A and B are shown apart, each in its own frame.
Chain A
Amino acid sequence: MALPSPNPTPHEPDIAMWGGVGSGKTAFLASLSVALNRAEGANEGWRIIGADDVSNSELTRLRTNLLEHRIFPRPTDVLTSYNWLVIGPPTRGRRVWWAPWKRHPARAPKITFSFLDGPGGLFGKSEYSVSKEELIKSLVKSRGLIYLFDPDRRGQISDAFKNLDVALREVESQMLGDDKYLDGKLPHYIAVCITKYDEPNILRLAEEYTDHGLELPRVPDDQARDFFREVLARDLDQNAGIIMRLLEASFHESRIKYFVTSSIGMYADPDKGFDPDDPSNIIDVPGQDQKIRGAVHPINIMEPVIWLGRMLYPKTMGRER
């Protein structure tokens, strides 16, 4: 019996994303456009649009759910692809030697981000699955990775380990089998995101790494790795400690960057601002979806994407670390 082929993905993914069940992958994507709109300072002026009608409508849906309906995305059931364009602020026009009297028009950096968002538990399944195969393919073909780790999964760290371990083994067996990568490391840039920083217990755990000098607390990027190590060390599961070693053994150390992120941020009262004793931005409504309590203040959501963009497109965006 002939099985129809699925409608093809129009773009190969530049960036792939993976993480365990409920690690916040879709919420990350939903808040990306909000983060870009809210950005100030060096990251100001960035925006995101859909590269086609489908991605545009998905982007609108994700934004509407987050900002208007004030709800989180439902658990992802099936592999979903998003093809987005992230457009930066235009650079100053350049002069060229053959026409020094005129300035060339300013050009905005434009990066295609094609994400594949799949159910978190795909790698935990031992049996073959079409979606799992496609997700592995996307990890192999992409050049940048976003790995989401949920530190609030009480007793679920072993899942996260299994998820990471299986995925890395599959990708390594496909990429390192031949002599293409002589150093035995995967060539990707990887942004490791420790998610759900807005959860009160994570905030408490991150207390000593937190920079309180800002409107909302935040773990600076140079502290993120240490915080990740602490999160893993506190877990009773003996595999937890291996997660960081697994990552640093599989990728070049210079190509890994850690971020402590939150898709919705902490609750900040419009008049009084952030209250450390009342940080939760989520309300539990019986029989309904959980609601977002106040304004959405994404923390470190656009930064991993812009960092990967800078690493992957140094000419367009200017490389920095």
Chain B
Amino acid sequence: MGRPIIAAAVLAAVALTAAACAGDEGEEQAGGDGAPVETTAAPVDTVEAVGGGGLLGAVQSRGVLNCGVSGVAVAFSETRPDGSQKGFDADYCRVVAAAVLGNAGAVNFVPLTAAERFVAVQTGEVDLLMRNSTHTQSRDTDVGMDFGPVTYYDGQQLMARTADGYSAASTVADLDGAVVCANAGTTTEKNIADAAADAGVTITLNTFQDLDIVTQNFIDGACDVLTTDGSGLVGRRNTMQPDDQEWVIFPAAPISKEPLGPMYIQNDSAFADAVNWAVYATITADEKGITQANVDAMAANPPDAETARLLGGEGELQSAMGLDPDAFFQAIKQVGNYNDIWERHLVPVGLVRAGSANASWLDGGLIYAPPAR
């Protein structure tokens, strides 16, 4: 009696193990294109199909945009207490989704580490990368990426205490003998070393595992100067500066250029155009004063021909791109223009747009969109 039952139990256990193996393969398909793994009819090279130029169509037939984000970048893509993504980058994923799919909510956010991000684009795991990635020559050429318009001009700056004699007018030349702290394994480290050598000053460079530890050391006084991208410094000064210290950020012109923007697989023009013009639409809307609040009125009563075209009226150009005529209207209606997005996410952490490189070109900044005609 006992023996066959045990044997049957062993059989069941083996069967379940096998079932588990079989199940895993399917599980991850769930979020993807939905083709069940088991319908192994003929081998299909999906990567090539994507690289071949059909990404826009693929996204539209799937109905969801897979967007790679950081998930741990303050004000750019934060993971909220309910697990959702919030921030400047996350909203640009939504802008693209609203333009391509008509629904800003149709985004599947894929948090990626710095190491995985490019592979994820190349293997088609994500359609689009909005992950604080600097546009560089090597990434554009070697790595096989294409870059969209810059959405945020960042740059490496320094932060120190006024009590140590630093002011907003300080420069790298004032750093002689200072202990400068940065997080390890990034270009931040190399940039400050180069800048110090150029200015002819000697600094002690200490690196730590991540920026939280760097900041803690700065607060405790183990570091005189903290250096990272300007956006990060402002956020940290706003929330972490103790009552008894006063922190100042300098030099006004950053020591490195970090233009951040969308990235996607190279050589897919239709998709690249859709992403680029969705971004440009938010910038044009900002220039013309079309905001999330007044876009309905603007669409009903366009003040000029370009606004009309942009919002899907007479002579619109969106249909020819494979988008709905009201694609950009939806993007601005559901997410907002450049300034709306900025105010929603970057103002709360203390990043000021006026006077920075991210001001509109009309106000002397660099944010500029080609004409929609």
- Binding partners A and B: no
* Interface of A toward B, CB cutoff 8 Å: none
* Interface of B toward A, CB cutoff 8 Å: none
